[in-house]
Amino acid sequence: MSELFDKSRRIAGVVFLGIALLMVVLGQTVLSPVLKNVSFILYWLTCAAFTLSAASVALVDLARVKKASREKQRDLIEETLEQIERDKHKFGSKKNNPDKSV
């Protein structure tokens, strides 16, 4: 379920960024003579909104990736400590053998 949200969030980020990029290109070329006064302001505010949306999605995705990385690292540390504890009990009895005297 989480993978579905990750994928849809990344797709949304790409779509927002693509729309913003398309708006920049169109605004600087084809629509440049048409955009005057209020339409100019609204057009570029809309473009800025798409850009900020893409950046917001990217920041949320970054936070999710960092959280997943921390969880995996924590799990790996716990697994390693458990393995050390098992090895200690397994091999510790051989080191403490009272039959060997110095």
Q: What is the mean pLDDT of the segment spanning 14-21?
A: 97
Q: What is the mean pLDDT of the segment spanning 81-97?
A: 80
Domain ranges, ordered by start, for the chain: 2-93
Residue 86 in tokens:
């098992």
> What pLDDT does 6 receive?
85
> What pLDDT does 15 receive?
97
Task: Give 24-81 pLDDT, tens digit per residue.
Answer: 999 999 999 999 999 999 999 999 999 999 999 999 999 999 999 999 999 999 999 9
Torsion angle of the four alpha carbons 7, 9, 11, 12, in this order, in degrees rounded to the nearest 10: 160
The dihedral of CA 62, 68, 69, 74: what is its sign?
A: positive
Helix, strand, coil fractions of the chain, as percent rounded to 5: 85, 0, 15
CB 90 within 8 Å of CB 45: no
pLDDT at 3 over 90: no
Q: Which residues contact 46 (CB under 8 A, 6 or more apart)?
A: 23
> What pLDDT does 98 receive?
56
